[in-house]
Structure 1
Amino acid sequence: MQRPDCAVACVDVLELEQRRHGSILSSTVTRRALTTAVVVVAAAAAVATAAAAPDLNASLPHTPAAVAAALTSTDASVWSAIDAWHAPRAATPPVDLTLFALYDQRLIRKLAANPRLLRSTLPSLAPVLRTRVRELATAHAELVRITPPLRTRTPRVGPAARPDDLLRWYHEAQRRFGVPWRVLAAVNFVESAFGKLRSASAAGAQGPMQFMPGTWHAYGLGGDIHDAHDAILGAANYLRASGGRTNVARALHAYNPSSFYVDAVLRYARELGGDSRVFYELYSWQVYVRSASGSVRLTGPGRH
């Protein structure tokens, strides 16, 4: 349907696994990992409620223990800020959520770029956070592999639709076409950061769901390729026609013929389906694009 790249770049890694019954990797290693995780969680819990939002360009930690502590503390702060963000939610998240989410996003990007640091950090995280960090960092690393720099020197950005409107449209599309809402949300996030990135892709794909014009003509239901609601319905229509009711992975491969793309979208979709707050966290992340000179943040405080 599209091109082997995606508009937003967000390696599999080893995870220390333990079993409640039977043998385990090593009693010494297990005890050390559990002790470290308990210390990290306890320390983060003690400061999470009192933590001030980080500065825009706050430095990132470098050691696995420090990164784990930062992730744990920041995750708690992001969750608290999301819980305090009551409906009707505006297209611009509260300032504290924006800053905490940006810091969290920068940590994930750092881990995605450094598989060794990621492997060393994961055992010190609580199980649920460990899984989420692994999934988000791995998905981002996979997308980086297939995302070329934007051709335009002046990428266009703008606000996304309101988050609760997006959720309502994903569920509408799921009811109508049978494609899981979380998959549609993941595609929307990967392709355009929920519509924040307005530029066409390097291959010419357009709109919040990054359709090639010819494909949109066939599956867009007569709607506007740049309208978020229309684009979500069009994507669901295309994915259903590609087998999305029974084989989402195959449908996603038709949408973008890259195994890295398919795996990344499914990783995001799993996290989106696990806790409703993950959607609001990803919604609060900023747009980064690859340029000839490196990665550039286009949105958020000091940018847009």
Structure 2
Amino acid sequence: MEARRKHPRRPPRARAVIALTTVTLIGGSACGVSTAADGRPAPTPSTGPSATNPVTGPATERADPLPAPDASIPQSPAKFATALTKTTAALNDAIDAWSKQGLPPEDVELLALHQQRLYRHAARHPETASRAFARLEAPLAAQARDNTSAIRGLVSLARPIKPSAVFKVQEPRPAAELLGHFKKAERRFGVEWEVLAAVMFAETKFGRVKSPSYVGAQGPMQFMPATWKAYGLGGDVHDPRDAVMGAANYLRATGAPRDYRRALHAYNPSQAYVDAILKHSRQIKRDPRNYYAYYNWQVFVLTTKGERRLTGP
């Protein structure tokens, strides 16, 4: 984030790095499939119907194979709607079966990646998306519109990087561990954990992005040094727990939870950014499984010669 101190009595204005992080929400060619040697648990097969899915209706046993990381995206609205419905239902079932501890199982990771790629495609093809979403059940249509418009808004702020640029990524901390940090920060500062999760998701895909931004923002919540010094509570900007606490402290100082729009605009002075965070946090509130789905979305970068994926299977 970028601090501005024109008025000493007001908190410095924060600015996150759009070029480095929000472009991770779109585009890119898929990489190869991870092998069994990576130590990940085997996919958990569905053994029968689970509880009713509020987004896609009653869950059913998965008959379709898991999508490959580079599986083709349907081009027609009807087939796209079917693919999004099936992928979201299967992903929710896989999340329900996951213990939420340690590494995500292969089915969660592959289904989340395919869901992410579907939404990226929708963001790039608004006419197809509009016609496809009209075919969806109302809850999934609302989720699809939120995700697609959030991606499209953040991408509008993206700054392509050179293909030769050094871009460091890393494995994120476990989803359960990060969730604990978000909830502790909520208890301490009153900032909703879903909002904090949405910020880390948009900024660095839950800490997968290790490189500093092009303006020097650092850590999983992307702080500029001056802002971190003022609001970081003496912690380590690269430590997920400290970064979450610092972000909650900053958001509280700039208006949250009374006025999230004001606080998020202070974090990043972009209406598109504010809207995206609120839409993603709304989806997590509507169904906590969306937190685990977002956790498994991967890092894509936009370069001057095209898009590419840097993390995941």
Q: TM-score, normalised by structure 1?
A: 0.84
In the aligned structure 2, how far is the partner of 1:109 from the partner of 1:245? 30
Amino acid corresponding to residue 50 of structure 1 in structure 2: A
1:83-134 alpha-carbon deviations (Å, 9 max, x no partner): 11114x11x3111111111111110000011111111111111111111111
User: Equivalent residue for 1:288?
Assistant: 300
Amino acid at match of 1:200: P
Residues 1:133 and 2:147 are matched in the alignment: no
Secondary structure class of the residue paired with 1:146: coil
| Higher helix fraction (1 or 2) | 1
CA–CA distance in 2 between the matches of 1:219 and 1:142?
Answer: 28
Aligned equivalent of 1:168: 180
CA deviations 1:44-98 (Å, max 9, x no partner) are 977x6212101221111000000000001111110111011114x11x3111111
Find out whether 1:59 has 2:89 as its counterpart: no
Task: Find the residue that maps to 2:277 and give its secondary structure.
Answer: helix
Higher-RCO chain (CA-CA 8 Å, sequence separation at least 6): 2
Answering whether residue 272 of structure 2 is matched by residue 260 of structure 1, we say yes
Instruction: Verify: 1:197 aligned to 2:225, yes or no.
Output: no
Which residue of structure 1 lines up, in the alignment, with residue 31 of structure 2?
none
Partner of 2:93: 80
SS of equivalent to 1:124: coil
Q: Which residue number corresponds to residue 43 of structure 2? A: none
**Seq. identity, %:** 45
Q: Number of matched residues?
A: 267
Runs of 5+ unmatched residues, structure 2: 1-13, 26-55
AA aligned opposite 1:175: R
Asked if the contact 1:5/1:256 (under 8 Å) is kept, the reply is no
- Residue ranges of structure 1 left out of the alignment (5+ in a row): 11-40
Q: Which amino acid aligns with 1:125?
A: L
What's the TM-score once normalised by structure 2's chain length? 0.82
Look up the SS of the partner of 2:64 in the other structure: coil
Matched, 1:230 2:242: yes
Question: Contact 1:4–1:257 at 8 Å: present in 2 too?
Answer: no
- Tell me the SS of whatever aligns to 1:153: coil
How big is each residue's C-alpha offset from its partner over 1:204-250, in whole Å with a ceiling of 9 and x where there is no partner? 11100000011001100000000100000000000000011210100
SS at structure 1 position matched to 2:308: strand
Change (3 A) 1:4 1:205: closer
- What corresponds to 2:32 in structure 1? none
Contact 1:45 1:73 in 2 (8 A): no
Task: Give the match for residue 154 of structure 2.
Answer: 143
Q: Distance in 2 between matches of 1:150 and 1:280?
A: 29
Partner of 1:274: 286
1:247 aligns with 2:259: yes
